[in-house]
Amino acid sequence: MPTDRVQLYDTTLRDGSQMEGISLSVEDKVRITKKLDELGLEWIEGGFPGSNQRDAEYFRRLQGLKLKNAKVSAFGGTRKPGLTCEADPNIQSMKAAGTPGVTLVGKASLYQVREILGTSAEENLAMISETVRYFKELGKTVFFDAEHFFDGFYDDPDYALQCLATANRAGAEALVLCDTNGGMTTNTMLKALKAAQDRSKDARFGIHCHNDAGLAVANSLAAVEAGVWQVQGCVNGYGERCGNADILTILANLKLKYGLDVIDDEQLARLSEVSTYVSELANLVPNMQAPYVGASAFAHKAGYHVAGIMKDERAYQHIDPGLVGNHSRVLVSELSGQRNILRKLQDAKISYPFSQDEIKGLLETVKRKESEGFQYEGAEASFELLVRRTIPGYEQPFVLEDFVIVERRRAVAEPGHPMEMLAEAMVKVRVGAHPVELMAAEGNGPVNALDDAARKALVRFYPELEHVKLVDYKVRILDSQAATGARVRVLIESTDGTRYWTTVGSSTDIIEASWIALADALEYALGR
């Protein structure tokens, strides 16, 4: 069974930032530190102050940062072979970081010591002992990350355990067992953990899992059940190769499944917000299927599932999504039933009394439109407009009567750059009984030009459109067999600074598909 006390240790800013495609600025790292502190994590690994100027600057910025819940740890290796701690520049950079804790990574595999580190078994043990003692004498909390422990244990168990015992005798706060290559199955991991606990009975243990076998979260939770004191992980499972254990999934499970108060209820309710916040700063698309926090974590598509949750949401949900700051969603698609439509109307706060025949007609319309390439699962704004346009008395705020797109090369190229394409769009837009507006605009590509021309035509009637902007644009080929004649689907995400919404268009012409999605985006902004 798990201990009554589990310490959460986040390494997003160090291990997580090693993920392909992530590059965090100093400001990004400071903002994420604040957000993780608000979430209630106990320790945040800030980075390796000796590795680059960005991390060094982060630790300087940290000196003026007031945190309520978390402490920050500087990360680095044990002293280098043949050097003293006083003479090792990386050790001194960790000292200069001024953090209350340091996390020392040291080899716990004899193969790694001899073949990769290039030193002797005895020198490696001395490096571990002397470095831990050095920082303990400075008054630091010292965590020892036993790198390659599990692989090392199955190669030479006595030496791997000796490395742990050495760090423990030197005063390490916790011995963190690292599945560095991420290949351990749960039973093999637990066997090695049990041997470590038996060898160093007075030690506190931690777990640090990578996800190369898809078992990082499962292994971390199994280690908690076996009595580890600290769990390390990264927000959204970020990390090198296949990533690290997802600290948010672990946190939610510890709180909701194990009954451990690792954070309070109010902090738990911010879990989804934290996930999205970090993914935005990392400039990565959020994982819709992420447990607890993903947009699809509580999404329901099958008609019989929707029928169930309309009676009781527990029918197809393992927790109340509000506990983690998420919410349930009903998807409308060709697989939908009438109950899906009814629930979506309820979610959109559309109170018009549709008859059963009208609901059936809406469902048939959705299925027909999806057969034409439209998809409303991720374009709920377009679905809402589709419904509102069927309500008697609804008036569209504008109608596009025609548009023309012309593309040409720029007249003058910038020095050192090749000649670029310039797009020009001309649109005819009618607003109510007003005369047709004819407007032209140039842009970086046809969609940008079309967007600018439409806004110019509409903004004198609807000045609020000044605040609406396109933030994401996706194109998908629906029939690759048709090559360049294939039908495409365009998804556009828009915002007015406070709300975000997604619209969809489909056609064999990418410009027409783009206009359909763009027009929906502007109409939805005005309707809301």
- Indicate whether 232 belongs to any domain: yes
- Structure tokens, 447: 């969609």
The set of residues, in sequence order, having a beta carbon less than 8 Å from that of 314 and lying 6+ positions away, is none
Give the closest residue to 14 by CA, choosing from 51, 62, 52, 48.
48
- Indicate whether 199 belongs to any domain: yes
* Biggest CA-to-CA distance, the chain: 89
- Indicate whether 301 belongs to any domain: no
Domain CATH for 451: 3.30.160
pLDDT of residue 306: 59
- Indicate whether 343 belongs to any domain: no
How long, in residues, is the chain?
528
pLDDT of residue 1: 44
pLDDT of residue 209: 98
* Residue at which a domain ends, from 258, 289, 315: 258
* Residue at which a domain ends, from 214, 229, 258: 258
- Structure tokens, 190: 């637990």
In three state form, how does the secondary structure of 30-46 look? HHHHHHHHHHCCCEEEE
- Indicate whether 423 belongs to any domain: yes
Per the CB < 8 A criterion, the answer to whether 381 and 520 are in contact is yes
CA 426, CA 391: separation in Å to the nearest integer? 31
Q: Give 45: exposed, middle or buried? Use CB within 10 Å, 0-12, 13-18, 19+.
A: buried
For residues 100, 26, 238 and 75, what is the CA-based torsion angle, rounded to 10 degrees?
Answer: -30
Is pTM, for the whole model, over 0.95? no
pLDDT of residue 139: 96
Domain CATH for 45: 3.20.20.70
- Indicate whether 181 belongs to any domain: yes
pLDDT of residue 372: 80
Q: State the DSSP code for 74.
A: E
pLDDT of residue 446: 85
The set of residues, in sequence order, having a beta carbon less than 8 Å from that of 155 and lying 6+ positions away, is 109, 110, 111
Q: In 3-state terms, the chain is what percent helix, strand and coil (to 5)?
A: 45, 20, 35
Query: How would you classify residue 214: left for phi > 0, otherwise alpha for psi between -120 and 50, otherwise beta?
Result: left
Domain count, the chain: 2
pLDDT, mean of each 10-residue run, the chain (528 residues)? 78 93 89 94 92 86 90 96 95 94 96 94 97 97 97 96 97 97 97 97 96 97 96 96 96 95 92 88 83 82 63 76 81 60 74 83 80 76 86 87 78 59 86 87 86 89 88 76 69 84 88 90 86
- Indicate whether 332 belongs to any domain: no
Per the CB < 8 A criterion, the answer to whether 24 and 51 are in contact is no
Whether residue 101 is found in the same domain as residue 250: yes
Residue-number span of the structural domain to which 75 is assigned: 7-258
For residues 303, 305, 311 and 313, what is the CA-based torsion angle, rounded to 10 degrees?
Answer: -140
* Residue at which a domain ends, from 258, 281, 305: 258
Give the closest residue to 190 by CA, choosing from 165, 160, 221, 214.
221
